[in-house]
Amino acid sequence: MGKAGFSAVLSDDGRKLTMSIDGRFDFNLHSDFRSAYRELPASTEFVIDLSKATFMDSSAMGMILLLREHAGEKSANICLKNCNSEIRKILSISSLDKMFVVE
């Protein structure tokens, strides 16, 4: 129902970006998601808060993989927080839980 919500907040010191998904994490958020981080250095700590996410599809997985690429692949500092059991299952099946810190 309605468009999913997306917000991004950069910490005062500019070192940590927290992106929050409210509702469906799908292609509709692609532009907002990418715009939030593309000007930031790879050394930024990225937190994706999924506490209000109800759904995550393959395009969302692609988006977090592009973020990982931007943030330096293996050296990327990305945490997926507050995942519900459905999203944890998706991350596990796709092995993304091995590429990201999942809390």
CATH of domain 5-102: 3.30.750.24
- pLDDT of 3 higher than 90: no
What are phi and psi for residue 79, nearest 5 degrees? -125, 130
- pLDDT of 52 higher than 80: yes
Q: What is the pLDDT of residues 64-98, one digit of tens each?
A: 999 999 999 999 999 999 999 999 999 999 999 99
pLDDT the model gives residue 2: 45
- Confidence band for 60, pLDDT divided at 50, 70 and 90: very high
59: Cβ contacts below 8 Å, ≥ 6 apart:
26, 27, 30
Spans of all domains in the chain: 5-102
